[in-house]
Amino acid sequence: MSGAEGENKAKREKFLAEMQKVVEEAKNKTPEELKVSINGILYPSLLCSEPAFQAMEAFEAREDDILIVTYPKCGTNWSIEIIKQILTEVHNKEPTLDHAMFEFGKPEKYEHLKNQPSPRVLSSHLTYENTPKSFFEKKTKILLILRNPKDAAVSYYHFLNNNPVLPSNSSWDSFFGEFITGNVIYGSYFDFTRGWEKHDDGHMLVLTFEEMKVDLLAELKKICEFLGINLTDEQLKKIQEKSTFKSMKEKSDETHGKIGNVFFRKGEIGDWKSLFTEKQSKEVDAKFEEYLAGTKLGEKINYTTYCTF
């Protein structure tokens, strides 16, 4: 193992040990205590705080940062892995990702980020409105990953019930009621997606979970082109293999610690049919029509293909 690899491994182990402490702390909390409202949106209380959000406002983005934006459960970990693999090929060493979830952590985190070498890989579930303006001023490259709302909802339900750091729900029906009104951690899927529609400065690449599932190689090429990176077919193939659901699940203990498997559940399109009633499906159809029909991001989601019973 090279010096840089050893340093990265030590950083990852430190990060996972900190996360494990948070998991232990969560055991003594009620579901209500695991949420905190900041500026009208719910966040995980053990990971986000008002003082940290204030410190975040002064964050200085760089033109060569890479910001991955997702609503929860739409492919965050998958896209972080892909960017990690791409940068590993370019620089011949793994980038540091211990600070990757941009809004998680203590206020000092934003000072710490100042000293991180470029390119910094950051990932966020923040709405367009709550994303620090510096990212837009610096024209940071943003990778927005969308997923159809029905699969996102089912994935979210299972994740909340299996991740001890997040508030669980007593039943699918109770979670669905909260999802549709936006009374969940990170707020409404529909507000989130409609909000990002406003960002249109030519520095954002929009991909979908579904497109990545159907033809990952094609999406990898789009990402590389967007980042101005040239990789050989062999390198792309290697990245494709390392970022399959199976490979990521197998490595999840190493990458995500003891609860790693919770992040890699099924990795499929269409699992929503296992839980949705027809009435619930129609409710989502109506929300989609109201918020996203006819928008660019709405088109990108390919709703009829992926959300019809």
252 binds ligand A3P (CB under 6 A): no
Binding mask 222-251 toward ligand A3P (x if CB under 6 A, else -) reads: ---------------------xxx--x---
Determine whether 247 is exposed, middle or buried from the number of CB atoms within 10 Å of its CB (0-12, 13-18, 19+). Answer: middle
The 3-state secondary structure of 270-309, one letter per residue: CHHHHCCCHHHHHHHHHHHHHHCCCCHHHHHHCHHHHHCC
11 binds ligand A3P (CB under 6 A): no
How many Cβ atoms from other residues are within 10 Å of residue 122's Cβ?
A: 24
85 binds ligand A3P (CB under 6 A): no
**Shortest distance, position 223 Cβ to ligand A3P, whole Å:** 14
Say if strands 41-44 and 35-38 run parallel, antiparallel, or are unpaired: antiparallel
Amino acid identity of residue 118, one-letter, is S
Beta strands in the chain (DSSP E): 35-38, 41-44, 66-70, 121-124, 141-146, 204-208
Binding mask 144-173 toward ligand A3P (x if CB under 6 A, else -) reads: -------x---x--x---------------
- Residue number with CB closer to ligand A3P (12 or 256): 256
Rounded to whole angstroms, the Cα distance separating 74 from 69 reads 10
Which is the catalytic residue, given 91, 99, 125, 203? 125
> Binding segment for ligand A3P among 1-9, 28-36, 258-266, 287-295 (CB under 6 A)?
258-266
70 binds ligand A3P (CB under 6 A): yes
Task: Name the token pair of 117.
Answer: 């070498």
Under 8 Å between Cβ of 122 and 67: yes
| Residue 112 designated active-site | no
Task: Using CB under 6 A, pick the residue from 8, 35, 44, 75 that binds ligand A3P.
Answer: 75
270 binds ligand A3P (CB under 6 A): no
- Summarize as ranges the residues that interact with ligand A3P (CB under 6 A): 70, 72-78, 151, 155, 158, 243-245, 248, 263-267, 271
The residues assigned a catalytic role are 125
